[in-house]
Structure 1
Amino acid sequence: MSDDKMNTRDCLQRAWMNTMEQVRDFEMYSKRIEDEKVADVFKKFAEEQGMQASSLKEMYNKYEQDQ
């Protein structure tokens, strides 16, 4: 495998970090938007992304332990 390709660890770490950034963005949007329906959608998205981030972090931690 060449150095320019991402390995499993790198992919998990990057996906986890990107997902956490989306959580923060969606939370911020949900607090700043005056339209309550739209704010609720962003809050839901933040929660869903939070669950995905948690799963990614668990996989990342397990992968780190197994290496």
Structure 2
Amino acid sequence: MNLETRDMIVKKLLDAQEAVRDFEMFSKHTKDEEVARAFKHFAEECGTQAHELQRLADKYRSN
């Protein structure tokens, strides 16, 4: 599999966005507050990664 740089960025962007959704959903479906807080934190971290990946994808789209 020979991926271009933009393809790699978009793939990881989609992975990060999915992780955000998963962690948010899981945080709402557990009764354990410690786990819920951890999942919310993980969602925020993945959101930060997704934001930066989106910025990079936009940069490559304009080139």
TM over 0.5: yes
Q: Normalising TM by the smaller chain, what interval?
A: over 0.9
Stretches of structure 1 lacking an aligned partner (at least 5 in a row): none
Alignment of 1:1-67 (within 5 A): 4-66=1-63
TM superposition score normalised by structure 2 = 0.96
Q: Which contiguous aligned blocks of 4+ residues in structure 1 show a shift greater than 4 angstroms?
A: none
Shift of 1:9: 1.0
TM superposition score normalised by structure 1 = 0.91
Shift of 1:17: 0.3
Aligned length: 63
Query: What SS does the aligned partner of 2:2 have?
Result: coil
Stretches of structure 2 lacking an aligned partner (at least 5 in a row): none
Query: What SS does the aligned partner of 1:39 have?
Result: helix
Aligned-residue identity in percent:
44
